[in-house]
Copies of this chain bind each other. A is one copy, B any other.
Amino acid sequence: MDPIDRKILGFLREDATRTYADMAAHLHLSPPALHDRVKKLKARGVIRRTTVDLDPEALDRSFCAFVHVETEGYAKDVLKDVAEADPAVEEMHGVAGSSSAILKVRTRDAAGLEELLRRLFETGAVRRTESFVVLRTYLERGISP
């Protein structure tokens, strides 16, 4: 992981369709040398996968919220099952603090969120939830190398 690798990761995060030849030129490297580095970064798991960023509005998921969940005892497993089964749930983190878990959720509208809350309570494992509805997203970039 030298500075050149960092720059490569930066390039790929910005636009993973860039050609190796193009990036190599910017880094004063030959295309095969760059290709070699990328291959190693993938093999070492630094690069997990290449994917696409999608527009939530176009997919009918304009509504975004963070849901704090407090469970009865340790009930992460049942929580995870519900979260995983629902495509509206993008993230689930177990956290320290007053909540047991934080969910990041994207639904069509507020009714979609209520649907999810109903399913959460139906498990019997949830004591209470607190939802923070996103009014505006100011920043949403991934990890920066």
- Cβ of A58 within 8 Å of any chain B Cβ, yes or no, is yes
Task: Name A102's contact: one of B59, B92, B132 (CB within 8 Å).
Answer: B132
With known contacts A48-B52, A51-B50, A53-B49, A94–B142 Cβ distance under 8 A: no
Say how far A2's CB is from chain B's closest CB, in angstroms.
Answer: 13
Q: Which residue of B lies closest to A93 (CB)?
A: B134
Cα–Cα distance between A46 and B55 once the two chains are bound (Å):
5
Cβ–Cβ contact B52 & A132, under 8 A: no
Cβ–Cβ contact B45 & A94, under 8 A: no
Cβ–Cβ contact A51 & B48, under 8 A: no
Task: Name A143's contact: one of B13, B56, B139 (CB within 8 Å).
Answer: B56
**What number of copies of this chain does the assembly contain?**
2
Q: Which residue of B lies closest to A145 (CB)?
A: B59
Say how far A99's CB is from chain B's closest CB, in angstroms.
Answer: 6
Cβ–Cβ contact A138 & B76, under 8 A: yes
Interface residues of A in 44-101 (CB under 8 A from B): 44-56, 58-59, 61, 64-66, 68, 76, 79-80, 83-84, 87, 89-97, 99, 101
For the complex of A and B, the 10 pairs showing the least CB-CB separation, nearest first, are A87-B144, A92-B139, A48-B53, A95-B132, A46-B58, A97-B132, A16-B50, A92-B138, A94-B136, A93-B134
